[in-house]
C-alpha cells in the first residue's frame, strides 16, 4: 500500500444492528476495491474482519477491526464494528478514531435497536452519518418503507441520493439522483445507462426533493432557489458536502453486499462527502497549563490509542489515530498520561489480521505498533516538547457481574494474570476482589461478553474457569436489647483460664456501624483486658448467629465482670466476650438484612409498562419516572440485589436490547420472613 497524505485519507466506522450486514458490507468493499481477491460469507467463517475463533464460532462480530482500502487515489480506513450491545465499547473506541459513520440498515428489517444505539453514539461523537440500505436483493426489501422508517426515527434530514434499480431478486443496480443516471451491475462494477422509463418520474421527484434539501445547507443558495433561480450542479454538490459534513443532511444510499451492487458508488460518496482526515480540528488538554486547546493537523505530533489487542506471535498491539504531525518507524514518542517514553520499532496497518508495513503514519491516518511497554487504550502519544492529553474515551460501565473460580485447584494466580492481560485489551472488563465474601468478581457488559472473555482466557492463556452467581452480601442485625453475662472458666489444676463479662447489647440506626462503650468502674475488669473484650466482640460480629453473615448496627456496653489474678488472660476475656455476644444476640430479636440497590432504567415509553411490571415482580419499589427525551423515559426504583443479579439479561429480553440501566448499592433492609427462613435453612444445611 502506498503512502497517502491526510487530504487523501478518510476514516469511517461501519456500524449497525447485529445482522444488518456490517461485516458483509466491509467484505464487499474490500473485494470491490481490489484489496482482496475473493469475497467470503460470514456463514463460511472466512471473512477478513471476523477472524477470531469466537467470531467464527458465533457468526457475529466481537471486535472492531481495521480494514483499509484504496479507491480513487484515496485511502479509506474502514473499521468494521460489532452490532450487539454487549460489545458497544468497541464502537465507542472506533468512533474516537474516525471522522464519519457508515450506518448499515437491513432493507427488510429497517431501523432496529442497534441502529438507534449506533446513531445515538455517532450523534454524541458529532460524526457525520451516511446510511447504506443493504440487502436490497432480499424478498420483501422495500426502499420507500425503509425511508419512512428512517425519517420516523431520525427526522426529515435523511435524504436519498439514490434509488434502487429493480426490486428483490430482480435488484440490478442504482439510480444516482445527483447525476440522474442509472448504473446496472455487471459483476465487479456497473454500466452507466439512461434511467429506464418506468423510473423517470420517481427519479425526477426524488431529484427535486434532493435539491430542496441540499440548498437548505447554504443560505445564499436557498434564497436564490426560492426566488426561482436555477442552482448549478456544482453548487448542489457543494451544498450536499456542507450539509453532510455538518451532520444536517444524512445521505441514504442502497445496494447489496451479497450481489456486490452499490459498493463502488458508496466509496465514491464517502470520498466526495465526508471530511478528509486532516480537516477536522481536535481538542486536547495542554499538560503544562491544564487548559483545553483546539489544534489542527499542523500542530506537533499527537495521537490517540483507541484500541489494544493481544497477538499470540507479536504480543500486544496498539491501534492509534494520528491527529497532527506523524509517527515514524524507529522513533521515540512520549506517553503523556503515563509520563513515559515509548520506543516505536516497526509500524504497520492491519487489514483484518494481516499486517501491512508502513514507514510512517501521517496526520489523519491510522496505524498499529507492537509491544509498547506502558501504553493502554485511551492513552495519548505526543511530542515530549509539547505535552498534551486527549479527553478520555468514555467507555460504558459494566452491568453484569459473575464470581470466577479456577476449574483446577491452584490456578488462581494464572486466572488473575490472564484477566489482567484481557483487561489491557478491553477497558469494559473490571475485576475486583470482594473483601467480605473473598470472591474474585468479573464484570462486563452482559452474559455474551463474559462468555467471550472466558473463551479467550482458555484459548490465549490455557486456563479454564467456572462462573457462578456472586454470593449476596447479606448482613445480620438486632431489633431488641438485652443484658447478659459471658463467662469462660477452665480450671483443672495448674494454670487455668478465666474471663467474665457483663454486657448490654442494643441496636443502632441503619448505617450506625458498631460502638463499644466501656463502663467498668472499680477494676471489675482490669484495664489491660478491655481491648481484648472489644476485640472479642468485633471478631464475633464477623459471623452472626442466623446464617453466618457479618453483624452491623449495634452498640455493646461493657457493664461489669470479674477476673482471676492468675488464670485471667486476654484470650480468656476474648472467649468470654464471644460467649456473651452470642447469648445477647439470641435475645435481641436478630434479623437478616439484604442489600438494596438504587436502579435507574432507561427505555422507550412503549416498553415502560413491561419494565415496571418486571420490577414490581422483583420486589422493587418504584420511586418515580421522568421523560428524558422524545420517546424515552427513566424509571427510578429500589430493588433487592438478590432479584437483579441477572438484570442485564432480563432487561435485554424485556426491551429487545433497547433498555439500559445503572445501579449502585443504596442501603440494607430486612429480608422478608419466609425468604429469611429459607436462607437460614440453607446455611444450616451447608
Share of the chain above pLDDT 90, in %: 89
Query: How would residue 447 be classed by pLDDT, with cut points 50, 70 and 90?
Result: very high
> DSSP label at 110?
B
Task: Identify the pLDDT of residue 437.
Answer: 87
Residues sharing a CB contact under 8 Å with residue 291, sequence separation 6 or more, in sequence order: 285
Handedness of CA 159, 165, 166, 172 (dihedral sign): negative
Task: Identify the pLDDT of residue 343.
Answer: 97
C-alpha cell at 236: 448542489
CB-based contact 33:11 (threshold 8 Å):
no
What is the DSSP pairing of strand 190-193 with strand 181-185?
Answer: antiparallel
CA–CA–CA angle 290, 291, 294 (5° rounding)? 135
What is the DSSP pairing of strand 514-518 with strand 554-562?
Answer: parallel
Backbone φ and ψ for 529, nearest 5 degrees, come out as -100, -10
CB-based contact 72:369 (threshold 8 Å):
no
Q: Is 594-685 a domain of CATH 2.60.40.1930?
A: no
Query: How would residue 85 be classed by pLDDT, with cut points 50, 70 and 90?
Result: confident
| 304 has a pLDDT exceeding 90 | yes
Every domain of the chain and the residues it spans: 6-273, 282-389, 400-468, 475-588, 594-685
Task: Identify the pLDDT of residue 184.
Answer: 97
Query: How would residue 413 be classed by pLDDT, with cut points 50, 70 and 90?
Result: very high
| CA–CA separation, 352 and 65 (whole Å) | 6
282-389: CATH, from 2.40.30.10, 3.90.1640.30, 2.40.10.340, 3.40.50.1100 = 2.40.30.10
| 322 has a pLDDT exceeding 70 | yes
Residues sharing a CB contact under 8 Å with residue 141, sequence separation 6 or more, in sequence order: 107, 108, 135, 164, 167, 168, 171
Backbone φ and ψ for 641, nearest 5 degrees, come out as -60, -30
599-638 confidence digits (pLDDT tens): 999 998 999 999 999 999 999 999 999 998 778 899 999 9
The CATH code that applies to domain 6-273 is: 3.40.50.300
CA dihedral of residues 110, 142, 100, 260 (deg, nearest 10): 120
Average pLDDT, the chain: 95
Task: Identify the pLDDT of residue 571.
Answer: 95
CA–CA–CA angle 414, 415, 419 (5° rounding)? 120
Task: Identify the pLDDT of residue 522.
Answer: 86
CA–CA–CA angle 407, 409, 411 (5° rounding)? 75
21-55 confidence digits (pLDDT tens): 999 999 999 999 999 999 999 999 999 999 999 99
239-289 confidence digits (pLDDT tens): 999 999 999 999 999 999 999 999 999 999 999 999 999 988 999 999 888
Task: Identify the pLDDT of residue 397.
Answer: 87
Average pLDDT over residues 207-218: 97
- CATH class of the domain whose range is 400-468: alpha beta
| 224 has a pLDDT exceeding 90 | yes
Helix, strand, or coil here: 279? coil
Task: Identify the pLDDT of residue 383.
Answer: 96
Task: Identify the pLDDT of residue 113.
Answer: 86
| CA–CA separation, 591 and 477 (whole Å) | 6
Average pLDDT over residues 582-605: 96
The region of weakest confidence among 129-143, 150-164, 478-492 is 478-492
pTM, two decimal places: 0.90
Share of the chain above pLDDT 70, in %: 100
C-alpha cell at 250: 444524512
Helix, strand, or coil here: 153? helix
| 200 has a pLDDT exceeding 90 | yes
Residues sharing a CB contact under 8 Å with residue 551, sequence separation 6 or more, in sequence order: 475, 476, 477, 478, 540, 541, 542, 544, 585
The region of weakest confidence among 45-49, 153-157, 320-324, 458-462 is 458-462
| CA–CA separation, 592 and 650 (whole Å) | 27
| 494 has a pLDDT exceeding 80 | no
The CATH code that applies to domain 475-588 is: 3.30.230.10
Backbone φ and ψ for 394, nearest 5 degrees, come out as -85, 85
633-664 confidence digits (pLDDT tens): 999 999 999 999 999 999 999 998 888 899 99
| 493 has a pLDDT exceeding 70 | no
Handedness of CA 521, 525, 529, 533 (dihedral sign): negative
Domains 400-468 and 594-685 share a fold: yes
The region of weakest confidence among 211-215, 409-413, 479-483 is 409-413
Amino acid at each position: 500500500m502506498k503512502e497517502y497524505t491526510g487530504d487523501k485519507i478518510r476514516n469511517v466506522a461501519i456500524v449497525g444492528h447485529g445482522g444488518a450486514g456490517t461485516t458483509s458490507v466491509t467484505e464487499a468493499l474490500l473485494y470491490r476495491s481490489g484489496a482482496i481477491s475473493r469475497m467470503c460469507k460470514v456463514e463460511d467463517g472466512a471473512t477478513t474482519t471476523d477472524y477470531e475463533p469466537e467470531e467464527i464460532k458465533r457468526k457475529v462480530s466481537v471486535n472492531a477491526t481495521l480494514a483499509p482500502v484504496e479507491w480513487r487515489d484515496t485511502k479509506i480506513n474502514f473499521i468494521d464494528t460489532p452490532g450487539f450491545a454487549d460489545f458497544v465499547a468497541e464502537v465507542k473506541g472506533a468512533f474516537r478514531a474516525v471522522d464519519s459513520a457508515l450506518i448499515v440498515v437491513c432493507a427488510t428489517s429497517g431501523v432496529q435497536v442497534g441502529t438507534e444505539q449506533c446513531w445515538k453514539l455517532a450523534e454524541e461523537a458529532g460524526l457525520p452519518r451516511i446510511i447504506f440500505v443493504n440487502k436490497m436483493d432480499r424478498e420483501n426489501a422495500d426502499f420507500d418503507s425503509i425511508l419512512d422508517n428512517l425519517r420516523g426515527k431520525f427526522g426529515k434530514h435523511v435524504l436519498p441520493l439514490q434509488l434502487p434499480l429493480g426490486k428483490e431478486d430482480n435488484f440490478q443496480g442504482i439510480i444516482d439522483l445527483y447525476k440522474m443516471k442509472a448504473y446496472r451491475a455487471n459483476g465487479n462494477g456497473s454500466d452507466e445507462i439512461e434511467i429506464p422509463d418506468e423510473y423517470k418520474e420517481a427519479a425526477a421527484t426524488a431529484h427535486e426533493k434532493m435539491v430542496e434539501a441540499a440548498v437548505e445547507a447554504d443560505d445564499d443558495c436557498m434564497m436564490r432557489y426560492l426566488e426561482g433561480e436555477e442552482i448549478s450542479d456544482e453548487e448542489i454538490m457543494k451544498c450536499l458536502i456542507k450539509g453532510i459534513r455538518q451532520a444536517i443532511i444524512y445521505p441514504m444510499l442502497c445496494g447489496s453486499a451479497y450481489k456486490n451492487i452499490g459498493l463502488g458508488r458508496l466509496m465514491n460518496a464517502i470520498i466526495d462527502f465526508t471530511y478528509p482526515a486532516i480537516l477536522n480540528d481536535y481538542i486536547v488538554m495542554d499538560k503544562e497549563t491544564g487548559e483545553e486547546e483546539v489544534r489542527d493537523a499542523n500542530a506537533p505530533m499527537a495521537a490517540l490509542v483507541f484500541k489494544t489487542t493481544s497477538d499470540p506471535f507479536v504480543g500486544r498491539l496498539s491501534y492509534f489515530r494520528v491527529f497532527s504531525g506523524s509517527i515514524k518507524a524507529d522513533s521515540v514518542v512520549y506517553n503523556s498520561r503515563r509520563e513515559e517514553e515509548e520506543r516505536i520499532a516497526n509500524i504497520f496497518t492491519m487489514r483484518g489480521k494481516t499486517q501491512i508495513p508502513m514507514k510512517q503514519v501521517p496526520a489523519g491516518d491510522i496505524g498499529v505498533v507492537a509491544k509498547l511497554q506502558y501504553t493502554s487504550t485511551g492513552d495519548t502519544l505526543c511530542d515530549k516538547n509539547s505535552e498534551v492529553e486527549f479527553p478520555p474515551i468514555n467507555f460504558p460501565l459494566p452491568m453484569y457481574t459473575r464470581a470466577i473460580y479456577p476449574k483446577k485447584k491452584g490456578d488462581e494466580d494464572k486466572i488473575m494474570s490472564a484477566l489482567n492481560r484481557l483487561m489491557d485489551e478491553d477497558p469494559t472488563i473490571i475485576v475486583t476482589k470482594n473483601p467480605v465474601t473473598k470472591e474474585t468478581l468479573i464484570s462486563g457488559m452482559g452474559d455474551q461478553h463474559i462468555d467471550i472473555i472466558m473463551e479467550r482466557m482458555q484459548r490465549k492463556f490455557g486456563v479454564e474457569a467456572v462462573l457462578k452467581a456472586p454470593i449476596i452480601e447479606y448482613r445480620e442485625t438486632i431489633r431488641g436489647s438485652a443484658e447478659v453475662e459471658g463467662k469462660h472458666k477452665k480450671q483443672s489444676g495448674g494454670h487455668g483460664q478465666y474471663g467474665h463479662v457483663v454486657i448490654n447489647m442494643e441496636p443502632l440506626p441503619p448505617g450506625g456501624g458498631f460502638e463499644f462503650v466501656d463502663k467498668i468502674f472499680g477494676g471489675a475488669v482490669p484495664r489491660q483486658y478491655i481491648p481484648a473484650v472489644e476485640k472479642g466482640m468485633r471478631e464475633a460480629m464477623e459471623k452472626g448467629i442466623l446464617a453466618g453473615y457479618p453483624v452491623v448496627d449495634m452498640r455493646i456496653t461493657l457493664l461489669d465482670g470479674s477476673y482471676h489474678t492468675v488464670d485471667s488472660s486476654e484470650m480468656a476475656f476474648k472467649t468470654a466476650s464471644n460467649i456473651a455476644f452470642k447469648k445477647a444476640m439470641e435475645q435481641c430479636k436478630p434479623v437478616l438484612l439484604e442489600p438494596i440497590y438504587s436502579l435507574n432504567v432507561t427505555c422507550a415509553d412503549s416498553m415502560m409498562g413491561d419494565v415496571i411490571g418486571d420490577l414490581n415482580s422483583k420486589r422493587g419499589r418504584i420511586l418515580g419516572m421522568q421523560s428524558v427525551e422524545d420517546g424515552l423515559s427513566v424509571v427510578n426504583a429500589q430493588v433487592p440485589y438478590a432479584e437483579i443479579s441477572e438484570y442485564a439479561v432480563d432487561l435485554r429480553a424485556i426491551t429487545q436490547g433497547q433498555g439500559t440501566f445503572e445501579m449502585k448499592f443504596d442501603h440494607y433492609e430486612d429480608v422478608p420472613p419466609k425468604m429469611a427462613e429459607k436462607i437460614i435453612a440453607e446455611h444450616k444445611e451447608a
